[in-house]
Each structure stands twice: as structure tokens, then as C-alpha cells.
Copies of this chain bind each other. A is one copy, B any other.
Amino acid sequence: MAPQGPWIALVGPGSDAAQSDLAHAEDAGAAVAEAGAVLVCGGLGGVMEAACRGARSRGGLTVGLLPGSYRADANGWVVVALPTGLGEARNALIVRCADALVAVGGGWGTLSEIALALRAGLPVVGVDTWQLARDGIAVDGVVGAADGRAAVEEAMRRLGHGAQPRVS
């Protein structure tokens, strides 16, 4: 009855996403749905909207955790929209709900979600997203992928093809 697959958090910029980010996000969303996974995101526009549209094009389940208090803020492709009223603190909830995280592009909010996911030990795959270093040396953490579909496939592979998700 309930969705059986893992939950993939799809994070990235809202209003200032690049065209290529939007294309990657839509492909990623479609791949999430094809894999039988649930897509969870921040529920707003830009990368979030493109990812939800992609997932819905394949009949997937999309969950949006909104920063504000109004359900109507969700983009039109979110099936289950939760107005949290927590502001940016909702980023931690997105990560907590996820078994893996895929970042496409990204500003500071996206970086906070990448960091929280790595803190929690989740697989994190990125397309055109942040590069992290300490003392001039690149730090492993975000696995790079060439495009949105490849990113989701890599995330699913790291979850054992969804066979052993962390919490489902």
C-alpha cells in the first residue's frame, strides 16, 4: 500500500536556477519515480518544481516541506505539501526524511542540506553543485554525476538499488 522505495531528497535553487539545472532536475525527478522512490524537496519553485514535474510525469509521489505556513506556496506538482512554518530549519527535516540526497546546482540553502546529509551519513550525489575543500585539498563527500538521471542512479546504487534503505 505505502510506497516501498527509499526517499530521495532533491535539493537545489528556487528562483535563480540555471536552465541546465532545471533540465537536470526534471530528469532526476523522472528517474526517482521510475526507480519507485519517493521524491522529497522544499516544495517551492526552480529546481524543486522541475524535479516534482519530472516525478509526476512518471506517476511518482512528491512530498514538499515548505518553509512557510501556507500550503498554497507549494508548486503545482507537489502531491503532499506540508507547510512547516519553520523557515530554513525545515532543511533539517528534508534531510531527516531522506535516505539519500541529490543536489542540482545550488545556493547557500542547498549547501546547508548537503552538509546536513553528509553529517547524517547519507549518500550525497551532485550535479553542477558545490565543491568543498579544506586546506586547499578537496574533501570527499559529494559524489559528482554528469546529469540528473545519472545522479539518481548513483544514489540508488549506493542505497543497494533501494533494497536496503536506511529507514523504510
Interface presence of A158 (CB below 8 A)? no
Contact of A168 among B72, B109, B111, B114 (CB under 8 A): B72
Interface size class of A (residues with CB under 8 A): 35 or more
Given known pairs A88-B119, A130-B132, A131-B136, the reply for A96 and B108 (CB within 8 Å) is: no
Name which residue of chain B comes closest to A111, CB basis.
B115
Q: Which of A74-112 contact B (CB under 8 A)?
A: 76-89, 91-93, 95-97, 107-109, 111-112
Question: Looking across the interface, which residue of chain B has its beta carbon closest to that of A117?
Answer: B108
A97's partner among B82, B87, B109, B119 (CB-CB below 8 A) is B82
Q: Does A17 sit at the interface, judged by CB under 8 A?
A: no
In the complex with contacts A119-B107, A132-B111, A168-B71, A92-B92 CB distance below 8 A: yes
A167 at the interface (CB under 8 A from B): yes
Nearest-Cβ distance from residue A89 to partner chain B, whole angstroms: 4
Residue A159, interface by CB 8 Å: no
Interface centre among A69, A119, A128, A168 (most CB of B within 10 A): A119
Nearest-neighbor residue (CB-CB) of A129 within chain B = B134
Task: Take A86-B85, A89-B89 as given contacts and tell me if A128 and B119 are in contact as well, using a CB distance cutoff of 8 Å.
Answer: no
Other A-B contacts than A91-B116, A131-B134, A132-B132, 11 sampled, CB-CB below 8 A, are A1-B79, A70-B167, A71-B168, A82-B82, A82-B96, A84-B93, A88-B92, A89-B92, A92-B92, A108-B115, A128-B134
Residues of A whose CB lies within 8 Å of any CB of B are 1-3, 7, 38, 56, 61, 63, 65, 69-72, 76-89, 91-93, 95-97, 107-109, 111-112, 114-116, 118-120, 128-136, 141, 167-168
